[in-house]
Amino acid sequence: METFGQDLRRSLYRGRDPARAVDIRDLRAMARRRLPALVFEYLEGGAEEELTLRRNRAAYDDIALMPRILRRVGGATLAGDLLGRPAPLPVAVAPTGFNGLLWPQGDIALARAAAAAGLPFTQSTVSNDPLEAVAALPGLRHWMQLYVFQSQAAVEMLLRRAEAAGSEALVLTVDGSVFGNRGWDKRSYRAGTDPTLARKLEMLRHPRWMLDLMRHGTPRFATLAEALPDGKSDMVSAATWLREQTDPDLDWDRVDWLRRHWPRRLILKGLLAPQDVEMAIRHGADAVVLSNHGGRQLDGAPSPIEVLAQAVPIAKGRLKLFVDSGIRRGSDIVKALALGADGVLVGRAALYGLGAAGTPGAGRALHLLQEEAERCAALLGCPSRAELDDSCLFRQPE
């Protein structure tokens, strides 16, 4: 029996030059080498048995492409409209917290890469850099992600600041009212947020990361500093406050309230059920992101790409439809577009680049995704977004 690759001494690039990364896997290997296990586990892990985490990737792997040949594909591009403005690729950077643990001023570093690529950056409520400092970056399309707290004053404060900073969209996370059970992440801590002795010792094997931490200090939740109680501004105390303040009773009435108080685009992130897409339309959303939170919340949930086909006929002509979770290749973006998505949000793929090399690493990740997506579209014989549909996908005969 013929084997492929087993007789080769294959290895991923693990150096420091992001330009040498051939794909996202190299950037992941670079980040794994630079970051302590404690931080990389937070970035990499999922909930409970990690069934959904693995399913997110398997679902894309199971989609086969059907190329058409002898078509003119010179200058293939996926450029076009992305939530009302032109973009070179239908991609936005997803909201992620604790980016300051991956790289000093991690939110600013990641946002700079997004701005250079011409793509929107979604800043998390729990970002480590101030909302205003990120939104003011030249050329950046700034989207603001919102967690709804029990403190109405904190929510109103965030809305006022996002509007004043010029955020073009508010991204309400609707699947985070109850914190997911991330068992492997918990094993990194002895109690609460105190790392185990083994994790503390392992940090010493990452001197570059340790030096950055000593130079810049432990990241804080700068965007939320105004809302935090006195004496709760350090990361540990603030993280505890955040968990206590997250509102478990977030419902459609709160969406209505946000719709009345937010004058720009409103995106709901974290839906999966087709019925909830219909509800999002009724309650005034401009777009939804089909998402299972990267496999970090409800374990056993389907992948967003698996439910996309059911959501498309509901959303068509009524709101924009995005997907996230599991995207590691440009071909994944093409598959999502072929199934009817208006765009995708990328999280871990960009964070691997950030953790590997800051802004240049994140920029390399976004460049690789665009390069791969355009190449995939050309190989499919579909050199533009308008030509991507389910005819580009292989269907097993009945």
In a domain? residue 222: no
| Cβ proximity of 355 and 41 under 8 Å | no
**Token pair in block for residue 366:** 């976004």
Binding-site residues for glyoxylate, in ranges, read 42, 147, 182, 293, 296
Break the chain down into helix, strand, coil percent, rounded to 5.
Answer: 45, 15, 40
pLDDT at res. 227 = 86
Residues 6+ apart with CB under 8 A from 253: none
Number of domains in the chain: 1
**Token pair in block for residue 275:** 């019925």
In a domain? residue 131: yes
Three-state secondary-structure class, residue 308: helix
pLDDT at res. 70 = 96
pLDDT at res. 103 = 98
Binding-site residues for FMN, in ranges, read 95-97, 124, 145, 173, 269, 291, 324-328, 347-348
Query: Longest C-alpha distance within the chain, in Å?
Result: 68
In a domain? residue 170: yes
Looking up residue 165, the CATH number of its domain turns out to be 3.20.20.70
In a domain? residue 215: no
H or E element: which one contains 27? helix 24-34
In a domain? residue 87: yes
**pTM to 2 decimal places:** 0.95
Q: End-to-end CA distance of the chain: give it in Å, rounded.
A: 30
The torsion region of residue 105 among left (phi > 0), alpha (psi -120 to 50) and beta comes to: left
Domain with 64 in it: 19-183+242-392
Q: Does residue 142 have an active-site annotation?
A: no
DSSP string, 196-224: -HHHHHHHTT-HHHHHHHHHH-S---GGG
pLDDT at res. 3 = 59
Identify any residues that bridge with 265 across adjacent strands, giving them in sequence order.
169
pLDDT at res. 235 = 76
pLDDT in tens, the chain (398 residues): 455 556 678 999 999 999 999 999 999 999 999 999 999 999 999 999 999 999 999 999 999 999 999 999 999 999 999 999 999 999 999 999 999 999 999 999 999 999 999 999 999 999 999 999 999 999 999 999 999 998 899 999 999 999 999 999 999 999 998 989 999 999 999 877 789 999 999 999 999 999 999 999 989 999 998 888 887 777 777 878 888 888 899 999 999 999 999 999 999 999 999 999 999 999 999 999 999 999 999 999 999 999 999 999 999 999 999 999 999 999 999 999 999 999 999 999 999 999 999 999 999 999 999 999 999 999 999 999 999 999 999 987 77
DSSP string, 31-53: HHHHS-HHHHHHHH--STT-HHH
Task: Give the number of C-alpha atoms closer than 13 A to the C-alpha of residue 30, restricted to the C-beta side.
Answer: 30
Alpha-carbon distance of 314 to 9, in angstroms, equals 49
In a domain? residue 26: yes
Three-state secondary-structure class, residue 65: strand
Binding-site residues, in ranges, read 42, 95-97, 124, 145, 147, 173, 182, 269, 291, 293, 296, 324-328, 347-348
- 142, 206, 293, 367: which one is catalytic? 293
Q: What is the bridge-based pairing of β-strands 169-173 and 265-271?
A: parallel
In a domain? residue 218: no
Tokens 């029996």, residue?
1
In a domain? residue 75: yes
